[in-house]
Amino acid sequence: MEGLVLPDPKLPIAPVIPRVNLDIPTAEIPTYKSIVVPPSDLRPPDGVKAESKDEQPTGIREVKLPVLDLKVPVPENEILITAGTTAVVSVAATLTATAAFKWAVTALKPILKTTWKKLSQSKKKGSLAK
């Protein structure tokens, strides 16, 4: 008995692939302008009057309630009108959409029920025929 005989595989010659040279990647590093931070004990220069901190921001008025002796901040008229108009329009749109949806449900419910019954009956007839 002879030893194990294995077939001699004949492989094709490997193709020559040219070498690819890749450049070293570069990146642009972001730079930022330095921020000047004022010192914590910043004071106005001599001869300049400092602004008072009691001034109200623009757009806000104060109304004094006589009974409570309390000042309540109130926005300007334009802001109040805009807020009131927005509230009225959103409530009207919600009520209209609700009424329309209820009407659609009331109108479509019988139609959908009838259609569903007809579909169910035709399915039952089709399954009984088989």
Displacement of CA 27 from its chain's centroid (Å): 33
The 3-state DSSP class for residue 4 equals coil
| pTM for this predicted structure | 0.40
Tokens linked to 23: 């450049």
- What is the spatial distance between Cα 55 and Cα 62, in angstroms, rounded to a whole number? 11
Which residues are 64's β-sheet partners? 71
Determine the Cα–Cα distance for residues 13 and 75; give it in Å rounded to an integer. 87
Q: What is the pLDDT of residues 71-125, one digit of tens each?
A: 888 888 888 899 999 999 999 999 999 999 999 999 999 999 999 999 988 888 7
User: 17-34, pLDDT tens digit by residue?
Assistant: 999 998 998 999 888 888
Report which secondary-structure segment, H or E, holds 94.
Answer: helix 77-129
Amino acid type, 11: L
**Could you tell me the residue ranges of all domains in the chain?**
60-129
